[in-house]
């Protein structure tokens, strides 16, 4: 059993528990957003374009069952700290940091998918001049949304406004990312357009 730093038990979302039974609807390729991004980042690394990796989640193991050495089973563990964002690295000498989120909501992207500590982390990256954004899988499309725009939507929510990003707002403030072959979700093209 995994636990958060506050002792609360971690309960995985059902979509991750029954992953083999799940059918992904976008392009019916059977891939998740995270798998697509990991493949994209692997391509970037092998092509010497960028060095961007998924951040590991720090876990403290408390109880392990050793029926035999080759079959150790973790019985209890705790998340050491709250996570920040999913990915970070370097591209063309600039620090890159981003979060990846999915929704099946048909009309808007709920801001409740983000945590306050993730928003604070992204705000800090922006203030230090890093390239920070989110990649959203929504409405059967992939979007690149700059952290500055996400922060605007978050602040709107914090002051009593809408608690989601509409499809129209995402089309207006985000950048659609077409699916590719080698770089499946080629977000570097958008970074090039925005920063270089």
Please check whether residue 162 is in contact with residue 156, taking contact to mean a CB–CB distance below 8 angstroms: yes
pLDDT digits (tens, 9 = 90+) for 132-174: 999 999 999 999 999 999 999 999 999 999 999 999 999 999 9
**10 or 178, higher pLDDT:** 178
Structure-token pair, residue 96: 């890159």
Structure-token pair, residue 166: 């509409």
Tell me the backbone φ, ψ of residue 50, rounded to 5 degrees: -160, 160
- Per-residue pLDDT, 89: 97
pLDDT digits (tens, 9 = 90+) for 4-31: 666 677 676 554 444 444 443 444 344 5
Please check whether residue 83 is in contact with residue 57, taking contact to mean a CB–CB distance below 8 angstroms: yes
84 belongs to an annotated ligand binding site: yes
The helix (run of H) or strand (run of E) holding residue 196 is none
- Largest pairwise CA distance in the chain: 57
Beta bridge partners of 101: 136
pTM over 0.85: no
CATH architecture of 28-56+82-195: 3-Layer(aba) Sandwich (3.40)
The angle, 0 to 180 degrees and rounded to 10, between the axes of the packed helices 116-127 and 147-158 is: 130
Please check whether residue 101 is in contact with residue 137, taking contact to mean a CB–CB distance below 8 angstroms: yes
* DSSP E strand stretches across the chain: 2-3, 51-54, 59-65, 73-79, 87-91, 94-102, 108-110, 131-138, 141-146, 164-166, 175-176
60 belongs to an annotated ligand binding site: no
86 belongs to an annotated ligand binding site: yes
What is the DSSP secondary-structure string of 41-77? HHHHHHTTS-EEEEPPPPEEEEEEE-SSGGG-EEEEE
């Amino acid at each position: 059993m995994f636990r958060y730093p506050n002792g609360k038990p971690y309960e995985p979302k059902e979509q991750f528990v029954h992953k083999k039974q799940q059918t992904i609807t976008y392009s019916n390729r059977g891939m998740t957003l995270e798998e697509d991004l990991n493949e994209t980042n692997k391509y970037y690394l092998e092509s010497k374009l960028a060095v961007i990796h998924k951040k590991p989640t720090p876990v403290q193991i408390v109880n392990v069952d050793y029926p035999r050495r080759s079959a150790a089973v973790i019985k209890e563990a705790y998340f050491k700290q709250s996570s920040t964002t999913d990915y970070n690295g370097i591209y063309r000498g600039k620090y890159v940091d981003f979060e990846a989120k999915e929704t099946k909501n048909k009309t808007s992207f709920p801001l409740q998918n983000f945590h306050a500590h993730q928003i604070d982390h992204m705000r800090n990256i922006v203030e230090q001049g890093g390239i920070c954004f989110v990649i959203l899988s929504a409405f059967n499309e992939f979007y690149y949304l700059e952290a500055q725009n996400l922060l605007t939507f978050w602040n709107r929510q914090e002051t009593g406004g809408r608690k989601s990003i509409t499809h129209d707002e995402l089309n207006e403030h985000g950048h659609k990312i077409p699916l590719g072959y080698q770089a499946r979700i080629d977000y570097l093209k958008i970074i090039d357009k925005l920063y270089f």
